[in-house]
């Protein structure tokens, strides 16, 4: 449901790209050698575009065709190759080791099970060049579940649209109900979709990365997301 309105939900893409460019710069992600970067769950290009502007050749992977079309429209002549596929299959789309892999914007918790996260992150660690960097971000759904009205999360509204999320927590997952209300003349129409996210404790992800031999920085907050950087040793 959200593909056609996802860019509206995140806001001005140029502003988001500038903010993400600052984040990538603060993490030292800049290439002077046209190295390869992989953007897993790229969406409309919020990180692919800053990576390309920082000197990387980018392979941007997402399952949503609408968002990949938007990315291509925004990318212009930047060296970004789009791939429509499941991010878990990213290795079949590359024939060289990337210097950088990013998986941002809560993408990891959309995977079905912890085993899928473990397999993907293992593939990431094995694929990177020595000295290469993996950056991931996620929301922390592992804390005490909200109750009552706190389960409703207002995301964005305008004169034409209202978007709200309703969260229903289980033991290991949280069911997210996206509620999109759209004005149609004098009436409002409502669409509701449901999907499941993992209640993934970021500390478990850190331990996995460390077990894979990655050097992990202290996690930090990035606009409400927990961001983790891990480097494959030389």
pLDDT for residue 7: 81
Q: 165: which 2 tokens? A: 């999320």
The domains found in the chain, sorted by start residue, are 3-140+200-231 (3.40.50.150), 148-198 (2.20.25)
Q: Is 209 helix (H, G, I), strand (E, B) or coil?
A: helix
4: pLDDT strictly greater than 80? no
Q: 184: which 2 tokens? A: 């149609």
What pTM, to 2 d.p., does this model score?
0.93
Q: What percent of the chain has pLDDT above 90?
A: 88
> pLDDT grade, residue 133 (50/70/90)?
very high
Neighbours of 180 (CB within 10 A): 20
Q: Which of 2-6, 103-107, 143-147, 179-183 has the lowest mean pLDDT?
A: 2-6
User: DSSP assignment of 145-194, as one string?
Assistant: PP-GGGGEEEEEE-SSEEEEEEEEE-SSEEEEEEEEEEEETTEEEEEEEE
pLDDT for residue 2: 65
H helix runs in the chain, sequence order = 6-10, 13-26, 48-53, 65-75, 114-127, 202-211
> pLDDT grade, residue 1 (50/70/90)?
low
192-202 confidence digits (pLDDT tens) = 999 999 999 99
| Distance of alpha carbon 215 from alpha carbon 207, whole angstroms | 11
């Amino acid at each position: 449901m959200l593909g056609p309105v996802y860019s509206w939900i995140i806001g001005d893409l140029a502003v988001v790209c500038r903010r993400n460019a600052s984040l990538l710069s603060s993490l030292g992600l800049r290439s002077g050698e046209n190295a390869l970067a992989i953007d897993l769950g790229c969406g409309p290009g919020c990180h692919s575009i800053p990576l390309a502007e920082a000197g990387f050749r980018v392979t941007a992977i997402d399952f949503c065709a609408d968002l990949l079309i938007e990315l291509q429209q925004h990318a212009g002549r930047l060296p970004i190759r789009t791939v429509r596929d499941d991010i878990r299959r990213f290795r079949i789309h590359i024939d060289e080791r990337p210097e950088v892999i990013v998986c941002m914007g809560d993408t990891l918790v959309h995977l079905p099970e912890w085993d899928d996260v473990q397999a993907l992150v293992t593939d990431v660690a094995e694929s990177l060049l020595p000295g290469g960097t993996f950056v991931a971000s996620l929301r922390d759904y592992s804390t005490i579940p909200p109750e009552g009205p706190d389960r409703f999360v207002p995301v964005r509204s305008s004169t034409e649209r209202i978007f709200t999320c309703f969260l229903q927590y289980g033991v290991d997952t949280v069911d997210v109900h996206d509620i999109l209300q759209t004005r149609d003349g004098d009436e409002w129409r409502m669409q509701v979709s449901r999907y499941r996210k993992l209640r993934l404790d970021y500390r478990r992800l850190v331990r996995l990365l460390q077990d894979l031999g990655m050097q992990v920085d202290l996690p930090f907050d990035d606009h409400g997301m927990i961001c983790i950087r891990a480097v494959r040793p030389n």
